Amino acid sequence: MTGTGRLIRLILRRDRVVLPIWILVFGLLPAAYYSSFEGLFPTDAERIGYARVSADNAGFVALYGLLHGDSFAALTNWRAGFVPVMIGLVVLLTVIRHTRTDEEAGRTELIGSAAIGRHAPLAAALITAAGASLLIGLLTFAGLVGKSGSVSGSLAFGAEFAAAGWIFAGIAAITAQLTSSARSARSIAIVALGVSYALRVGGDISALGTGSLSWLSWISPLGWVTRIFPYGPLNWWPVVLSVLLTVVAVAVAVYLRGRRDLGDGLFAARLGRATATPSLRTPLALAWRLHRGLLVGWTVGLGLLGLIFGGVGGSVLDIAKDNKGLSDIFARLGGSTEIVDSYFAGTAGLVGLIAACYAVQATLRLRDEETTGHAEAVLATSVPRLTWAGSHLMFSLLGPALALLAEGVVTGLVYTQGNFAHIVGGVLLQLPAVWVLASVAVLLFGVLPRWSAAAWAASAACLLILLVGETLRLNHWLLDISPFTHVPHLPGGTVSATPVLTLLVVALVLGAVGLAGLRRRNLPD
């Protein structure tokens, strides 16, 4: 453990921009939700009616979990039910970045040549992630204790967020030991997160009916943290279970770390063929081999999200018909006075932002190929740089289009009472904004490659604007930072070619500048 403190300082320096952002966003988001609920429901009858309808809606339960209670604080905790998923995602990416990614890039070996203990890098990553999760919990507690008037409830709310971060920090520590590839470690950890979410959804929806499968939620770490119910039947046992699981996961990770060599994983990497098959002898064929798993995963994931959004659509009118404040929020989000149309237009923006995360991830695969030395091997042949980059960027452009189409089609099929073409069209209209964020990643990769990861900051800013921008009634110049605020709204709104063409031109210019920079800079850099 020698040198752990210095490695923690190194991690804090490397993440000095990203780390504070997601701590503040997740920590302050519940207080923003509380304030928005106060504005939406000025009377007790409206608040109780909303809680009653939401508690029995399978779509809302799938998204946020079970609702116990009808107070502003209980609604806030329920509305923040998806936040533990986002915290888990960010934490596991952070742990893998400072363990397996550093090891794969050779930085761990370089650092290990100094007076650094064998387990110090893992300990530093876990302590940093756990500390950040704890800060999120403390910010949540501080933001709600005065509003709710419940110290124990607010403390439990903060513990819910902190526990989610701790659990997936431990899970990421294990996956970092299993494989020699950071990409594979991330994939395994994200699959674990997705399975945990799916089990929680299945158990909670079952609890609305016969309850025969409600036990599924109790084998899901995400099910544990959402069953604390801080402002309802407060239950501290899930916190105890989360801490125990974290301790066990860390112990397993330390044990596995001691059983493998530096640079290797517990599972040996498979050797490839001595010669490439005909299907792998072009840059595009190689890019397809590298991106196909990501493409299938995101397409299936957005398709499943379409099931939820389409199912919720039938209940939106019942929820909002007697509440003018909620109707106004739907109208502002979707650009229409028709509540159901506004709902689908608003969810289209959320789906578009999710697809943008896929586009950014696919684009940054270029940087991964560069840092691992794979790009040099390809470019040592007769393949030009732009051909190599273009083969990957094709998936950044067309992959989100396919995923969005899957979500729109599933949503339109599930919600049979609306205009199918308008629902699908509203989702596909998000593509220009998606491509703008992808082009930001291209620009950074081509001009400032060491800052390529900052492309995620643009996505985070758009997410923050989407989550709290309209409910907090932020100034329009702040809302306009996000390209998604300029997308025409369908169904229910009017479509203008001007914003679509403007976004396409912006994406084209940013991408062209990035590719021009790629042609002129050193590789790797």
Which of 70-84, 200-214, 232-246 has the weakest average pLDDT? Answer: 200-214
Task: Measure the CA–CA gap between 102 and 108, rounded to whole angstroms.
Answer: 6
Per-residue confidence at 95, pLDDT binned at 50, 70, 90? very high
**For the whole prediction, is pTM greater than 0.85?**
no
The tens digit of pLDDT for each residue in 33-91 reads 888 888 778 888 878 878 887 777 766 777 788 888 888 899 999 888 888 988 998 89
Per-residue pLDDT, averaged over 13-23, amounts to 84
DSSP class of residue 229 equals -
Name the DSSP class of 219.
G
* Bigger pLDDT: 244 vs 478: 244
Q: What is the pLDDT confidence band of residue 449, given thresholds at 50, 70 and 90?
A: confident
Helix spans in 321-384 (H) = 324-334, 339-363, 365-371, 374-379
Tell me the pLDDT tens digit for each residue of 296-354: 888 988 888 888 778 767 666 665 555 555 556 555 555 444 667 777 877 888 888 88
On the CB side of 394, CA atoms within 13 Å amount to: 14
Q: What are the percentages of helix, strand and coil residues in the chain, rounded to 5?
A: 80, 0, 20
Percent of the chain with pLDDT over 90: 25
Per-residue tokens: 19? 């780390």
Q: Which of 255, 256, 245, 249 is nearest to 223 (CA)?
A: 245
Question: What does the pLDDT read at residue 37?
Answer: 83
Radius of gyration of the chain (CA): 23
Per-residue pLDDT, averaged over 375-391, amounts to: 88
pLDDT value for 136: 95
Question: Where residue 234 falls among pLDDT bands split at 50, 70, 90?
Answer: confident
Express each pLDDT in 470-479 by its tens digit. Answer: 555 566 667 7
Residues 65-93: b if buried by 16+ CB within 10 A, e if exposed: bbbbbbbbbbbbbbbbbebbbbbbbbbbb
Alpha-helical (H) ranges within 179-259 are 182-208, 221-225, 237-257
Where does the pLDDT of residue 165 fall: very low under 50, low under 70, confident under 90, or very high at 90 and above? very high
- More confident: 331 or 463: 463
Q: Which helix (H) or strand (E) holds 59?
A: helix 58-64
Please name which of 428, 431, 416 lies closest in space to residue 340, comparing C-alpha atoms.
Answer: 416
In tens, the pLDDT along 124-146 reads 999 999 999 999 999 999 999 88
The tokens describing 395, both together, are 């998936």
φ and ψ at residue 51, rounded to 5 degrees: -65, -40
Task: Flag whether pLDDT at 6 surpasses 80.
Answer: yes
Which residue, among 75, 226, 232, 227, has the nearest Cα to 152 in the 3D structure? 232
- Work out the mean pLDDT of the chain and round it to a whole number: 83
- pLDDT of the residue at 336: 47
- Residue 50: count of CB within 10 angstroms of its CB: 21
Q: What is the pLDDT of residue 399?
A: 92
| Residue 126, pLDDT score | 93
What pLDDT does residue 391 have?
92
CA nearest neighbour of 518 among 444, 426, 407, 468: 444
